[in-house]
Amino acid sequence: MEKVILLVEDDKEINQLVKGQLEQEAFKVVTAYNGEDALHLLEQHEVDLILLDLMLPKLGGMEVLKRIRATKHTPVLIISAKGSDLDKALGLGFGADDYISKPFSLIELVARVHAAIRRSTQYAAAANDSSVAIPAAAGSLQYKELTLDMSSFTAQIEDRNVQLTAKEFQILKLFMTNPRRVFTKEQIFHYIWEEDYYGNENVINVHIRRLREKVELDPSNPQYIRTIWGIGYKLGDA
């Protein structure tokens, strides 16, 4: 089935260049040149991925991202000239799935798009298709008061239900199926993103922080996702 991408980029030359490259990859591309139009198009089209610039007229990219995340889990890949660590952290913190800084290689952009859509497709298939196999003993995973439901892709902490993004679910599953293992950031990136790790720690740091905010009773004193200083992260007691 043809995958639909919403491209939100106000630079017309970049917009058409990226659109043309993605169409060569057999994607259908819907384009917007400002934030307001992007939100209107999302009401009219079911899209599989959103490529979102941050510096947009009428409505900025961060605000667009926040409004998208209020109602949708569609993967969002930020493309922006604002490439500072703070900008990346803010974008990921508001719910972006990935971040690529301008100037970027079209080859790298296409690879990121394919990877994001592949992960999202696998996640949706496992959540909605009863024919997708779930390990027999893994209908749910539990550690102390934290339960991970493998069929609904949610977590429960005591009596509180938690909605997880695809990556948050995968990270938590990785920890809960390997409760004694310490994972480095490089290993987490390799397992979850299925890509080479280029040392961008903010991607891991922000996802861990968001996950802690959802499952920890006190995120500043985590009991489930522990930091092992100088090494990485693990489940439970250090």
Could you report the per-residue pLDDT of 191-202, keeping only the tens digit for each? 887 766 666 677
CATH of domain 4-128: 3.40.50.2300
Put simply, whether the predicted model's pTM sits higher than 0.85 gets the answer no
The three-point CA angle 56-25-116 to 5° equals: 60
The token pair that represents 49 in the structure block: 């991925």
CB-based contacts of 13: which residues, under 8 Å, 6+ apart?
none
Are the C-beta atoms of residues 117 and 175 closer than 8 Å to each other? no
For 97-133, what is each residue's pLDDT tens digit?
Answer: 888 888 888 988 898 898 888 877 665 554 444 333 3
For 64-75, what is each residue's pLDDT tens digit?
Answer: 988 888 888 788
Going from N- to C-terminal start, the domains of the chain cover: 4-128, 140-235
Backbone φ, ψ for residue 97 (5° rounding): -90, -25
The three-point CA angle 127-8-91 to 5° equals: 65
In CATH terms, the fold of domain 140-235 is: Arc Repressor Mutant, subunit A (1.10.10)
Nearest residue to 235 via CA among 160, 172, 168, 179: 179
The three-point CA angle 126-128-130 to 5° equals: 75
